[in-house]
């Protein structure tokens, strides 16, 4: 958790909504110099803070409508801080709450250096990242439609389809009239199949657009990520746009935490009090690294042997988690050093090494932890 602790003459807390915003500005002594509600428009906001613009920082909670305020502050050279919504417990734990109270709490947090900050994704690539997330929504909808077709087939105890309906060629070979006797059921299946064709066209169109866009934004990083075995175009796009700038992570542990690849732990007086914060982090990166680990295991014999060893100790789910975290560390150093994936360094041995050879090597030298740093070469 990171906090904003830069000194300013004035501190502006904003309780932001889609149509209105409540402003509270404190001076260095903590006195309220402005506390009012204005419309959520650039002109109204700039007019309200005009007397304090010489040295003011603006802070708001990370909600869906913060884009325009962040872009406005950047264009006007006003310091802007985005508060982490899940970490900002102080503005949600009061006995009473409203826009006026929340705006003052945000101003007090940023003035006291206790505002947990979130990453302000800059304008330019942020729009492409949101489009990539919209593609994921369409993919989920396509999976729901396929599941409905399969469930309808099971409702009438009909033979299974045999081939995956996610592929258009398999749907074209499906004989609906012969399989479903009732006209209403046939109509329902026809609607689903037409919807699947439409979703396929939309997904294909957006994927083509994204692949063209990434070659303009950062083609080198895109192809660098694709050098990882099993990482295709979509996973490389997700990793690139969700990480954005690797320099914002001071070390590999921060990236692993942001990607939900390590399990947080709470201790008190030397005793473990459980975990927490499972929802804090980037769910899209968690998915991407988990998928990449599964695909790496499919592509690489060394990955299969690694998973087999880890599975004996920890079980299959945790073994895949360990491999995903290992990939996260590798990606961190790849992007830091601007080098491609090197399987020799990743597995810390020559390709084709057998499990017995690995055991002998482990006896001769101290075993390295899973968190050991992977050095990668082009």
d(CA 118, CA 69): 15
Q: What is the percent of the chain with per-residue pLDDT over 70, rounded to a whole number? A: 90
Q: Is 79 helix (H, G, I), strand (E, B) or coil?
A: strand
C-alpha closest to that of 330 among 242, 232, 227: 227
Does residue 349 have a pLDDT over 70?
Answer: no
Q: Where does 3-116 sit in CATH, by number?
A: 3.30.420.40
Does residue 154 have a pLDDT over 50?
Answer: yes
d(CA 79, CA 6): 10
Q: Is the pLDDT higher at 185 or at 377?
A: 185
Q: What is the pLDDT of residues 62-107, one digit of tens each?
A: 988 999 999 999 999 999 999 998 888 766 677 778 899 999 999 9
d(CA 133, CA 284): 8
State both tokens at 170: 């398999």
Sign of the four-CA dihedral 204, 208, 213, 218: positive
> What is the overall mean pLDDT for the chain?
88
Predicted structure pTM score:
0.85
Give the pLDDT of residue 91.
66
* Domain ranges for the chain: 3-116, 126-226, 240-266+274-364
Q: What is the pLDDT of residues 33-67, one digit of tens each?
A: 999 999 999 999 999 999 999 999 999 999 889 99
Residue 41 backbone phi and psi in degrees, to 5: -135, 145
Judge residue 23's burial from the number of C-beta atoms within 10 Å of its C-beta, 0-12 exposed, 13-18 middle, 19 or more buried. buried
Decide: 24 and 32 in contact? Cβ < 8 Å: yes
Neighbours of 351 (CB within 10 A): 10
d(CA 371, CA 352): 23
């Amino acid at each position: 958790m990171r906090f904003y602790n830069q000194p300013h003459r004035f501190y502006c807390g904003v309780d932001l909504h889609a149509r209105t915003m409540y402003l509270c500005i404190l001076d260095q002594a903590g006195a309220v110099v402005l506390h009012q509600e204005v419309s959520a428009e650039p002109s109204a906001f700039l007019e309200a803070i005009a007397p304090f613009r010489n040295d003011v920082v603006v802070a708001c909670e990370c909600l869906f409508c913060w884009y325009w305020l962040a872009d406005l502050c950047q264009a006007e050279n006003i310091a802007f801080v985005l508060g982490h919504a899940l970490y900002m417990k102080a503005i949600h734990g009061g006995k009473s709450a409203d826009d006026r109270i929340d705006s003052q709490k945000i101003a007090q947090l940023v003035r006291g250096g206790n505002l947990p900050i979130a990453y302000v994704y800059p304008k330019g690539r942020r729009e492409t990242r949101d489009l990539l997330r919209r593609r994921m929504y369409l993919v989920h909808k396509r999976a729901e439609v396929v599941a409905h077709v399969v469930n309808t087939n099971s409702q009438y105890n009909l033979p299974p389809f045999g081939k995956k309906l996610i592929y258009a060629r398999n749907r074209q070979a499906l004989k609906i009239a012969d399989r479903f006797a009732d006209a209403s059921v046939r109509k329902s299946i026809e609607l689903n199949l037409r919807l699947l064709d439409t979703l396929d066209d939309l997904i294909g169109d957006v994927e083509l657009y994204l692949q063209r866009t990434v070659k303009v934004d950062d083609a080198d990083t895109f192809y660098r990520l694709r050098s990882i075995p099993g990482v295709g175009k979509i996973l490389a796009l997700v990793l690139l746009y969700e990480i954005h700038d690797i320099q914002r992570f001071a070390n590999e542990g921060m990236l692993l935490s942001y990607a939900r690849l390590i399990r947080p732990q709470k201790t008190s007086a030397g005793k473990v009090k459980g975990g927490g914060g499972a929802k804090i982090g980037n769910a899209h990166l968690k998915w991407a690294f988990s998928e990449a680990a599964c695909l790496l295991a499919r592509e690489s014999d060394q990955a299969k042997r690694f998973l087999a060893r880890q599975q004996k100790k920890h079980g299959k789910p945790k073994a895949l988690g360990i491999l995903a975290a290992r990939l996260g560390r590798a990606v961190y150093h790849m992007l830091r050093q601007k080098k491609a994936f090197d399987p020799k360094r990743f597995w810390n041995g020559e390709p084709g090494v057998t499990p017995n050879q690995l055991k002998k090597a482990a006896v001769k030298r101290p075993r390295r932890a899973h968190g050991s740093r992977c050095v990668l070469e082009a």
